[in-house]
């Protein structure tokens, strides 16, 4: 756990915050104390996604699920606030390391302890399934090795039998390496998928290695569908049970009762010396907020108990996006992804070096990489003409007005589009057809005449766009460009959230909207430079962009037709790789 930061509130509802436990795409998780002295874990939705209906629907469903599943194997719901921001839920605080943390510190579990954890988690899943709920995100980060036995946490994407699915077509819930093939291929979620995740989780516990290797999410998921699980060096009987649980065909997997029986447990897990030693890895709990913390203003305590009237049994279907959950509520060592590795090159990829960083720019269909002859002097700076400069663009203030008809900025929103260097494509098509003859480019602003496959340049990327067709007066057509890092970014550090390398589900950083037909020649190129001309806009306030080197991996570039700050749709997508 980490000390509170100045930007954290002193209280959430009636609870006094003591420390940070973890973070993820959905929100921040805190350790807190009730007025009566009880320790709780409070999950708070991030401010920037509270305006998204699908985020709130998912959060309300999580509260429903945690309230319904009251079990010795789960952290039970204590309190929640669902009527107004900040939205939060409080569960029992479970002291202990995550399975991921424990393996990271002590290495793979010996066979006896591994079988005990296997059987206990199978019992826990059986209890969850008995409530008509599938967990859908079982992994080492969501298992707490408590003194009383393993506990399941984070039901952020769990689903009850009667609940409406909130996952967009084409996106599977769960974590790469722990998500079953039928979920990845057909989005078929059921108890057998939890058995697959259980087997993958125990493969990690038994080997100390991710069950299907490390790397980018697409590669890990491919191996989960097509390749065997890694059980090299595992005791044969235990390896056979793991392999049965991760069978590619869900009908071939054992039931949880069979898993428990095959574990052959003969003694209480808490009496196992190795397990007891793992449970003692729990961090000391602070009794008061970290000393020296300043700037936090206590909120007026208000308690919104969940013991009142029941919430509606179902919510209207929402679309299109499935948000990532907060991951491990108590912090963890990542197991499913490593720092991005070099993807296979393909024809049409331009490699650019950014100091110590290499940027690979994909040349997809309908997307052109500029040569010196294309650029000439015909283009204009899309952020504000020839006088625009990086220093000027950084001094951005929340706009009160804009030119007539021109959106002042592009607001933040959820966006699951990702570009992959492995395919050279984005995994989803544009949302609308672009204006006639639209073209985009990614180039080096510091070496416009360089045409070699590999060259050095500064820590910037220039993005250009233009409309085709005939010259002459044209109707305004406003374009904004989004540049998205590969992973969710911690606003405090400007880097991926520590311990989590989850795919970025936000829009990223956006340029100021510009009329593509502006200027004396409506077909001339317009340019914006990252990071100088890009910000994220949260509730009308700009947040600075991060350096490229802060998040190595595949970055996504999208071009959007924008009508208002909250109404814009993608018209083209490509990307580049930072190494």
Mean pLDDT of 175-192: 89
C-alpha 468/C-alpha 459 separation (Å) is 30
Active-site option among 8, 79, 137, 194: 137
Phi-psi region of 120 (alpha: psi -120 to 50; beta: other; left: phi over 0): alpha
pLDDT value of position 571: 92
CA atoms within 13 A on the CB side of 77: 22
Q: Is 137 a catalytic residue?
A: yes
What confidence tier does 540 reach under pLDDT thresholds 50, 70, 90? Answer: low
Reported as a single tens digit per residue, the pLDDT across 463-490 is 999 887 655 557 889 999 999 999 888 8
Question: 96-105, 239-248, 357-366: which has the minimum mean pLDDT?
Answer: 357-366
Domain residue extents for the chain: 99-279, 349-393+401-578
Average pLDDT, the chain: 74
Helix axes 99-106, 191-207, angle to 10 degrees: 20
Q: In Å, how far are 12, 93, 155 from 58, measured between CA atoms?
A: 20, 22, 10
On whether the CB atoms of residues 156 and 26 are closer than 8 A, the answer is yes
99-279 topology per CATH: Transferase(Phosphotransferase); domain 1 (1.10.510)
User: Which of 10-14, 52-56, 356-360, 369-373 shows the highest mean pLDDT?
Assistant: 10-14
397 labeled binding residue: no
pLDDT value of position 294: 40
On whether the CB atoms of residues 403 and 385 are closer than 8 A, the answer is no
Q: pTM to 2 decimals? A: 0.54
Strands 461-466 and 526-530: antiparallel
What confidence tier does 286 reach under pLDDT thresholds 50, 70, 90? Answer: confident
């Amino acid at each position: 756990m980490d000390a509170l930061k100045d930007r954290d509130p002193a209280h959430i509802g009636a609870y006094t915050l003591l420390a940070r436990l973890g973070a993820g795409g959905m929100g921040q998780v805190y350790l807190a104390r009730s007025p009566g002295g009880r320790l709780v874990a409070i999950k708070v939705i991030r401010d920037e996604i509270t305006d998204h209906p699908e985020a709130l629907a998912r959060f309300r469903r999580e509260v429903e699920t945690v309230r319904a599943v009251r079990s010795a194997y789960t952290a039970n719901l204590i309190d929640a606030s669902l009527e107004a921001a900040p939205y939060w839920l409080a569960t029992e605080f479970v002291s202990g390391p995550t399975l991921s943390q424990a393996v990271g510190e002590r290495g793979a579990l010996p066979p006896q302890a591994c079988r005990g954890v296997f059987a206990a988690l199978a019992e826990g899943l059986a209890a969850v399934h008995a409530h008509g709920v599938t967990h859908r995100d079982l992994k080492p980060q969501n298992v707490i090795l408590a003194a009383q036995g393993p506990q399941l946490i984070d039901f952020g994407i769990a689903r009850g039998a009667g609940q409406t699915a909130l996952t967009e077509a084409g996106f599977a819930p769960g974590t790469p390496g722990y998500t079953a093939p039928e979920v990845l291929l057909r989005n078929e979620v059921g108890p057998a998928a939890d058995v697959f995740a259980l087997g993958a989780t125990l493969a990690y516990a038994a080997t100390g290695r991710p069950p299907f290797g490390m790397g980018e999410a697409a590669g890990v998921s491919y191996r989960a569908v097509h390749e065997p699980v890694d059980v090299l060096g595992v005791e044969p009987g235990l390896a056979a049970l793991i392999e049965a649980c991760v069978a590619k065909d869900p009908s071939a997997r054992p039931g949880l009762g069979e898993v428990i029986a095959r574990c052959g447990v003969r003694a209480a897990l808490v009496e196992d010396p190795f397990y007891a030693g793992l449970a003692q890895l729990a961090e000391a709990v602070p009794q008061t907020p970290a000393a020296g913390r300043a700037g936090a203003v206590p909120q007026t305590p208000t308690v919104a108990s969940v013991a009142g009237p029941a919430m509606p049994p179902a919510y209207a279907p929402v679309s299109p996006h499935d948000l990532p959950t907060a991951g491990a509520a108590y912090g963890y060592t990542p197991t499913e992804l490593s720092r991005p590795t070099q993807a296979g090159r393909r024809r049409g990829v331009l490699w650019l070096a950014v100091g110590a960083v290499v940027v690979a720019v994909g040349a997809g269909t309908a997307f052109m990489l500029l040569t010196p002859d294309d650029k000439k002097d015909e283009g204009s700076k899309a952020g504000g003409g020839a006088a625009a400069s990086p220093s000027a663009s950084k001094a951005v203030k929340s706009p009160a007005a804009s030119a007539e008809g021109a959106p002042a900025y592009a607001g933040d929103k959820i966006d699951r589009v990702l570009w992959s260097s492995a395919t050279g494509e984005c995994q989803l098509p544009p949302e609308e057809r672009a204006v006639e003859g639209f073209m985009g480019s990614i180039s080096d602003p510091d070496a416009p005449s360089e045409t070699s496959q590999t060259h050095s340049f500064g820590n910037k990327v220039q993005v250009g766009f233009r409309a085709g067709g005939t010259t002459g007066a044209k109707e305004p057509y406003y374009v904004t460009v989004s540049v998205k890092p590969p992973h969710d970014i911690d606003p405090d550090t400007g880097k991926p959230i520590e311990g989590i390398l989850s795919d970025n589900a936000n829009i990223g950083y956006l340029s100021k909207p510009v009329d593509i037909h502006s200027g004396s020649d409506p077909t001339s190129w317009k340019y914006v430079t990252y990071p100088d001309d890009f910000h994220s806009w949260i509730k009308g306030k700009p947040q600075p962009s991060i350096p490229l080197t802060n998040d190595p991996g595949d970055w996504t570039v999208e071009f959007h037709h924008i009508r208002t700050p909250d109404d814009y749709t993608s018209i083209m997508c490509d990307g580049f790789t930072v190494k």
